[in-house]
Amino acid sequence: MAEAESSKDVNTNPGDEWTCSHCTLTNASSEVKCIVCYNNRLVVGEKENIQYTPEENLLPKFQNNVLVTFFQDARSKASKFFIDPIASSHVPNLFVSKDCNLLDLACNNNEKKEDFYETQVKNDRILEIEKNNFVKNDVGKNMYSKQTSKLSENLRLNQEEIALEKWKEIVNFCKETQINFIDDSFPPANKSLTYTGAPFSKVSKWLRPKQISTMSGKKTAWQVFRSPRPSDIIQGTIGNCWFLSALAVVCEKPELLEKIMITREICEEGVYQVRICKNGKWVIVLVDDLLPCDRNGKLVYSQADRNQLWVPLIEKAVAKSVGCYEALIAGRCIEGLQLITGSPCESIVLRNKPGDAPEDAVDKDLVWARLLSCRNAGYLMGASCGGDISDAHLMASYKQVGLEAQHAYSVLDVQQVETNRLIRLRNPWGRGSWTGAWSDYSPLWTDTLRNLLRAHGSDEGVFWISLEDMIKYFDCVDVCKYQREWTEVMLEGTFASPTNHGQVCHITVFAPTEIDITLFQESNRGSQTESLASLDLWIGVFRATSGTAEPKPIKYIAHSDRKLKPSVLCNVFLDVGEYLIVPAAFNHWNSGVTYTKPLNYVLSIHSSKAVLTDHIPMTRYSYSDALFLMVEKLGRKHQGIEGVTCYYMSHKLAGLIVAAENRRPDVHLLVDCDCNKSFNVVSTRGSLVTSDCVPPLRRQILNVLTQLEGTDGYSVCHQLKFRISQANAFGGDGSHQDPLLKNGLAEIHNPREL
């Protein structure tokens, strides 16, 4: 009754909008409560409700020119449209007209730029872009400091709607000119096949579907989809099992698979759009249907049985996004799942590697609990089988039990029957099945259990295996946490470095919410010389100070593992309140490597309920304060002097963090830290041996060690000597460091007040 009386006085003139006094979100006039924080709308007369009009002229806009590329013949200067290299030998003499950009991402044939475009997401319900939230970054690109997470499905539909309009423009132009589309930014040429542009011996020509010789030899009409199933996928001549295995896992849910292909029907003009999530950002990749074929006119790379185009077209889009087909060689299933679903993904490690720390030992019971939880949540899962094996004898031992090393399987089910822990797997090849315990013909099956769990799928590559054997032969289970009803927001930023304080995400939670936070770095896939990941990634979540323009971390909540990987994930349940998400990397601070470009990241936040995010400059010393809060909460302790504690932490950190705290008001703390016995690590201090003086009532991060190469083992070791002194032992009071804190290292290692 009170709510009805309150809403009666609300001004609801048609077309008006109102700004929430609590979270600053702009709501439609029809809303009585804020749709994010549920705060009541201000009644007329209580307080002025200032309305803002979005700065439409500042929003990024698509260009009006047709999203196609024109060619000009260098000899005649006459404009031509998409000259087909199959019909003409003049392709090397053609260049892109400077007058025709492709969404500001025009690509000259002599340049290796990505020529896919991102769609501007429309908001169908909330106009969150307010005048007071608009900012401009240092390179002149438009950014908005405050964003509200939105339903992932709505984002996809909005992007698809815009993309389809552009697709229609291209198709109509092709129809008018009576010529098929050719993507000049990923041309039917050798440079699209290999890193160097050298020919690939198996590729003789590029053909369109109607020209391709089918596998069956029959003239079956091509379709984009024909009731797709995992067994349709056929690997080609390159080792991109990581990508195809992810496709097979996603194919377990065909409705999710079809969302990748925006163009779901055959296009006679050869224009197709594929939606992928590269480095955490949704992008629409435009491709033609010219596909690499051998001298017999058969597809060289991956394909789908029953004359379906979805496999080669998605593969081509991914190849385009990384530069060439050769760049698709080698990877993990989790990378493929992230790429084609955009959902949070994580790996459940099944067994330890040599050199792993004792505290990182795999807990079999915990692994089983996580597998059951993921199955109950309906997540997609893929299992990596012998991913690190290269020895021919070991690979042969896998074949003896019906498994394929360096291969990935789909996880179909997880069941505990009495004391038996069983996992059902599918070989995406549709053939080859496990022959050990609990295989189809194992004597362990009773008639009741066989009928209950349908233990009769070996002919299709489907089989059951015990958890014990799974751990013996498989490395990890990659989990894709796709949830249709969750919201999503994506933020782009730059890591803190000696010359840049970086950014943090200030997040406001209005109702208890489960959140998955994924931090991406720019992957090096597409580089022939660099490893896939350059930086060690870490996410920290902290309770933040409120009511200030410069929030600071005040309480540790959760953190991700720290890894030399393209991405890391942090899952946390947050109560109502304000928090800081700190994205971090450390191995670039004093590694001696010169980086020629900004160290950018993408922070992707998925949540069960809408949250408000604000991407802001990092407050000074946030790195130092955040690390100490974590180490103080979770680290091990060295004690021995009253009022003095030294901390160290290495669990799931791909290295080591050492810190010291001096709670004494009258003495200095002198600490010598020797990490010389560590192996394959880099130090933020630039030295494995440090000496520091921590003044009274101060705390300090002494050193941060990071695994140097992600493919090699590493070890960390430290020895501490600490004592107290009335003076700082260096002639006077105050702090002292050896080596000195140069190149911005004070942001991590300066002593901080308790």
Q: What is the pLDDT of residue 710?
A: 63
Which of 25-34, 149-158, 616-625, 664-673 has the least mean pLDDT?
25-34
3-state secondary structure of 167: helix
Whether 274 has a pLDDT exceeding 50, the answer reads: yes
pLDDT tens track for 327-377:
999 888 899 999 999 999 999 999 877 656 666 778 999 999 999 999 999
Which residue, among 406, 415, 455, has the nearest Cα to 433 in the 3D structure?
455
Instruction: Average the pLDDT over 413-438 and give the result.
Output: 89
8 A C-beta contact, residue 58 and residue 39: no
Radius of gyration of the chain (CA): 29
Distance CA(259)–CA(655), nearest Å, equals 39
Evaluate the CA torsion angle 606, 612, 618, 621 in order and state its sign: negative
Distance CA(496)–CA(623), nearest Å, equals 9
Q: What is the pLDDT of residue 271?
A: 97
Q: Which residues pair with 692 in a beta bridge?
A: 671, 737
Distance CA(440)–CA(539), nearest Å, equals 44
Q: Which residues contact 589 (CB under 8 A, 6 or more apart)?
A: 497, 498, 684, 704, 743, 744, 745, 748
3-state secondary structure of 7: helix
Angle at 658 between CA 653 and CA 660, to 5 degrees: 145
- Give the pTM: 0.81
Of 20, 241, 324, 476, the catalytic one is: 241
Whether 560 has a pLDDT exceeding 50, the answer reads: yes
Q: What is the pLDDT of residue 497?
A: 82
Q: What is the pLDDT of residue 115?
A: 34
Of 427, 587, 703, 728, the catalytic one is: 427
Q: Any catalytic annotation for residue 57?
A: no
Of 133, 333, 407, 673, the catalytic one is: 407
Instruction: Average the pLDDT over 499-527 and give the result.
Output: 93
Which residue, among 232, 707, 277, has the nearest Cα to 480 in the 3D structure?
277
Instruction: Average the pLDDT over 610-621 and give the result.
Output: 92
CB half-sphere exposure, 304, CA atoms < 13 A: 25
Q: Any catalytic annotation for residue 407?
A: yes
Q: What is the pLDDT of residue 1?
A: 36
Distance CA(538)–CA(570), nearest Å, equals 9
User: 373-407 burial by CB neighbour count: b if 16+ within 10 A, else e?
Assistant: ebbeeebbbbbbbbbebeeeeeeeebeebbbbbbb
- The pLDDT confidence band at residue 88, using thresholds 50, 70 and 90, is very low
- The pLDDT confidence band at residue 85, using thresholds 50, 70 and 90, is very low
Q: Any catalytic annotation for residue 736?
A: no
φ, ψ (nearest 5 deg) of residue 747: -60, -25
8 A C-beta contact, residue 496 and residue 587: no
Task: Count other C-beta atoms under 10 Å from residue 55's C-beta.
Answer: 13
